[in-house]
Amino acid sequence: MLQPDPLLQLWQTPLGIHRFEHASDVNATLAKVFKTMRLTDSEAVTGAPFYASTDDLLQRIKLAEWEQLLAFIVDGLRQTVVLANQGHWPQAAPGLQIAIPSIWFQMSQMGSHHDIHTHGNCSWSGVYCVQVDDAPKRHANKVFGQLNGVTRFYGPHFTQQAGASMDFGNAYLQSGHIDIQPLPGQLVVFPSWLAHQAMPYAGEQDRIIVSFNARVHSAIGNDQIHNFSQA
């Protein structure tokens, strides 16, 4: 039973940001590999401003640098998932089985963007930045400015604001999104249900990211903690 409380903060949105210490050694190699994969893709449109690979990179790439990145992604994912579920799991540090059923790369340029979307059939997703222009160059763009190439996440209340209806009483809802600047070596881990988009990007270098979906299972027992069929 809940005790009297003037304010209960419920259903927070977890987000994890991690930095890869070996990014400078790994990213250059991966950028070359991805560019080669695009050039050898018979379905790729030459000169197109946007390209997305198939989501089976776990099976297609066999490189030490790729394995380093995967290890970093899994470790960052594990950290965020454990912290997000503190107090919700029946034990403090249960065994976990992390599966990444889909992982792919995207390359964007010339103002291309990825519209608002969520990810299905998984509990967590993530985006890792491989290559992008540095902040001064991106922000100098006369059209996109500081939004050039950022990833924008929309809070869960964003769609409930009835066309941006607001008054003084819902000031806590009026900051409905957060923009995360792209930075090579940065991994952002987020719940798969969280709406997001890649804002338009234009620069000297292609904006190259690795995206993935993940499922997390209990090493023993049932994944389901709450039984929705019971009152």
Domain span at 133: 16-88+95-160+173-218
Q: What is the pLDDT of residues 98-138, one digit of tens each?
A: 999 999 999 999 999 999 999 999 999 999 999 999 999 99
Residue 49 CA to chain centroid, in angstroms? 21
Question: In this structure, is residue 41 part of a structural domain?
Answer: yes
Spatial distance between the Cα atoms of 66 and 87, rounded to a whole number of angstroms:
34
Q: List, for the chain, all residue ranges whose pLDDT scores fall below the cut of 70.
A: 92-93, 162-164, 229-231
Q: What is the pLDDT of residues 59-75, one digit of tens each?
A: 999 999 999 999 999 99
* Residue 68 DSSP SS3: helix
Asked if 194 and 156 touch (Cβ cutoff 8 Å), the reply is yes
Give the per-residue pLDDT at 91. 74
Query: Over pLDDT 70: what percentage of the chain?
Result: 96
Number of C-beta neighbours around residue 129 at 10 A:
23
- 136: domain CATH number? 2.60.120.620
Question: In this structure, is residue 208 part of a structural domain?
Answer: yes
Structure tokens at 220: 């023993």
Give the per-residue pLDDT at 231. 56
Question: In this structure, is residue 167 part of a structural domain?
Answer: no
Spatial distance between the Cα atoms of 75 and 90, rounded to a whole number of angstroms:
22
Give the per-residue pLDDT at 90. 78
Among 61, 63, 84, 81, CA closest to 73: 81
Number of domains composing the chain: 1
Which H helix or E strand runs over 144?
none
Give the per-residue pLDDT at 164. 66
